Amino acid sequence: MTRVPGLPLNKADVRSGLLAWADRPNAPVAAVMEQTGLSRQRVSNAKQWALLGNFLDQKGLTPEGKLALQKDPYLETTVTDWRVHLIGSFDGQNSSIQPQSLADWDIWAHIVYSFLPEHSTFTKEELFQYLAQYFDSDKLENPIKVLLKTYTEASAIANSAFLTRNGDTYATGNPNLENVYTVGYVLATIWQQDIGDQVSVLVDELLNSPVGLGKVLGLDSSQVRDQLDRLTEAEIIEQRSAKPHAAGQTPLRRQSHETNYVVVRCWDNPLELLEKAYDQDSVAPNRPLIQALDGILDDEDGELPFLSSMQNWFSNLRPQQSQFAPEGSAIDTLLHLAG
């Protein structure tokens, strides 16, 4: 019924696990438990989230996972929160999520692309009743609890503000989109999934797509147009007139009064925008650690080396600390001291 892990996302656990799985993606659970100090259940849950968030695959760290550890080793930036939301809500294994019917959607996709656009405020009970139309009601309670906590707890992706909580009521409509390159990365990823190599598209296709930019960001059509204007100012996209033009000539730039226009992509790879998003993140709580690790994280080939060198660096901060920490994660403590 669902790919939602059994426990809410805990980014500190995922971070600790990534340091272990980077060297050995198929390391036995017992070995990861010893290395991280986490319980069996927490290691298992962390790996489910690492796979679901596309930080990790069966070969090791993904390009996105490497970039996250290079740019955001604490996994605390809003960029990382939006990545988890975006990739987690995609139905299937990073393939097109344009649905043939609602019955084809996973529970997470149902919530983001079908329920929330029609329910800007809701209660847990209302969400349950909606999902019970499509899934076995006896198996809904835990996935709903896990996702609501993942969106609203500080240890998970609450900084995205995609979903907020006030008592028993949840709401959308006021997301944290300060970083324009994060918006650009979200658009580029959607584009790659469902528009492919096409260089341009009519704006209405972005606004009205079943998995369009507005639904992913939790915005209405007018708010999405505002975001497209921001992307244009940052030269992530161009907005061109949809009026006929002579063959061989570039369409004129869109005029302010035009509501039907063409959006032209200006990026080659979503990873380019993801890297810029990390570089432009205004929170940047990990900047001193990133600078300190500058020579450790990059090898001569531009690839992330085995993460054992990072772990050794952490250990050397406090030589008297034992190699393995009790549950609660020594790595967390060392990272805190490093900051």
Q: How far apart are CA 56 and CA 48, in angstroms?
A: 9
pLDDT at 151 > cutoff 50: yes
**Same domain for 325 and 260?**
no
**281-338 pLDDT, tens digit each:** 866 555 545 444 444 444 444 444 444 444 444 444 443 433 334 444 444 443 443 4
Residues 6+ apart with CB under 8 A from 129: none
Angle between helices 78-89 and 63-71 (to 10 degrees): 160
**Same domain for 186 and 271?**
yes
pLDDT for 157: 97
Q: Is residue 241 part of a domain?
A: yes
pLDDT at 184 > cutoff 50: yes
pLDDT for 91: 56
How confident is the prediction for the chain on average, in pLDDT? 82
pLDDT at 84 > cutoff 50: yes
Strand partners, 200: 264
Tell me what percent of the residues of the chain surpass a pLDDT of 70: 74
Mean pLDDT, rounded, for 123-144: 95
Element (H, E) at 276: helix 270-280
Q: Is residue 163 part of a domain?
A: no
**Same domain for 260 and 299?**
no
Q: How far apart are CA 212 and CA 256, in angstroms?
A: 23
pLDDT for 129: 97
Mean pLDDT, rounded, for 7-28: 92
**Same domain for 271 and 291?**
no
pLDDT for 331: 41
pLDDT for 196: 85
pLDDT for 255: 67
User: Which residue has better confidence, 252 or 117?
Assistant: 117
pLDDT for 293: 47
**Same domain for 60 and 40?**
yes
Q: How far apart are CA 230 and CA 28, in angstroms?
A: 46
Residues 6+ apart with CB under 8 A from 256: none
**Same domain for 258 and 306?**
no
pLDDT at 66 > cutoff 90: yes
Mean pLDDT, rounded, for 100-120: 85
Total-model pTM? 0.80
pLDDT at 140 > cutoff 50: yes
Q: Check which CATH number belongs to the domain holding 242 and give it.
A: 1.10.10
Which range, of 74-83, 163-172, 305-314, averages the lowest pLDDT?
Answer: 305-314
User: Which residue has better confidence, 103 or 133?
Assistant: 133
CB atoms within 10 A of CB 99: 16
Mean pLDDT, rounded, for 230-258: 77
pLDDT for 308: 45
Own/partner long-range contacts of 255-262 (Cβ < 8 Å, ≥24 apart)? 259/203, 260/202, 260/203, 260/204, 261/202, 261/203, 262/200, 262/201, 262/202, 262/203
**258-284 pLDDT, tens digit each:** 678 899 999 999 999 999 999 998 665
Mean pLDDT, rounded, for 102-109: 80
Q: Considering its fold, how many domains does the chain have in total?
A: 2
Contact 131, 113 (CB under 8 A): no
Q: Is residue 120 part of a domain?
A: no
Q: Is residue 13 part of a domain?
A: yes
**Full domain range(s) for residue 63:** 1-76+286-339
Type of residue numbered 25: P
User: Which residue has better confidence, 87 or 1?
Assistant: 87
Q: Is residue 281 part of a domain?
A: no
